[in-house]
Amino acid sequence: MLIIGPPGSGKGTQAERISERLGVAAISTGDIFRANVKGETPLGIEAREYMDAGDFVPDSVTNKMVRDRLNEADVQDGFLLDGYPRTTAQVDYLDGILVGRGDKLDLVLQLTADDEELVARLLGRARETGRSDDNEAVIRHRLDLYHGQTEAVVAKYAGRGILARVDGMGGVGEVTDRVMGMLGDLLKVPAVFGR
């Protein structure tokens, strides 16, 4: 399963909750990058300048990182990817990985929220956590990339009939209730998460 949403939509928080509900690992590419930046690894040093500017880390770097993570033992029976794919080239790359493992995506969940709400939330988060990519110019750039590139990713999955949209406006608990309601309905349909 994938979770896709604009910056500030709460996808990281919801991903953790879904991961517990479904019993599959949540993989956040943003978290992996941030851990590498903190650890000053070669990957982190390469990613940092892009992240601080609110740009996408190049596909060549990101794709390899995801491929390596998906080769680990804990995700052989399923996973939830948070923050990947963000470009249509990444969609193609993920398709290749999945074909290679004889697997398919069951569901793509898109969290929606309007831009001004997202900017307000992210500025609040910047004050609390001091994330270096949470200042207004960078936030707006990240939103522009979402609209300019990641919405095309969403459209691809919509075309495949595996997209579910959930309203991400409101409190975290309210959004979780909506997400769990949607998942609960889908779990009753054996074809969705069945293999």
Rounded to 10 degrees, the C-alpha dihedral 132/136/141/142 comes to: 60
Residues of span 125-184 touching ligand AMP by CB under 6 A = 133, 142
Which residue among 9, 14, 19, 29 contacts ligand AMP (CB under 6 A)? 29
Q: What are the strands, taking DSSP E only, across the chain?
A: 2-4, 25-28, 79-82, 108-112, 163-167
Query: How far, in Å, CA of 195 to CA of 188, rounded?
Result: 14
Determine whether 125 is an active site residue: yes
46 phi, psi to nearest 5 deg: -70, -40
48 binds ligand AMP (CB under 6 A): no
The three-class DSSP label of residue 112 is: strand
Span near ligand AMP by CB under 6 A; candidates 47-55, 94-102, 105-113, 161-169: 47-55
Determine whether 131 is an active site residue: yes
Q: Give whichever of 58 and 184 is closer to ligand AMP, judged by the CB atom.
A: 58
Query: How far, in Å, CA of 52 to CA of 128, rounded?
Result: 17
Query: Residue 145 CB, nearest distance to ligand AMP (Å)?
Result: 8
54 binds ligand AMP (CB under 6 A): yes
Query: Residue 185 CB, nearest distance to ligand AMP (Å)?
Result: 27
Determine whether 142 is an active site residue: yes
Cα radius of gyration (the chain): 16
10 binds ligand AMP (CB under 6 A): no
Shortest-Cβ-distance residue relative to ligand AMP = 30
The CB-side HSE value for 187 (13 A sphere, CA atoms) comes to 9
Query: How far, in Å, CA of 117 to CA of 114, rounded?
Result: 6
93 binds ligand AMP (CB under 6 A): no
Catalytic residues: 11, 86, 125, 131, 142
Interface with ligand AMP (CB under 6 A): 7, 29-30, 33, 50-51, 54-57, 62, 83-86, 90, 133, 142
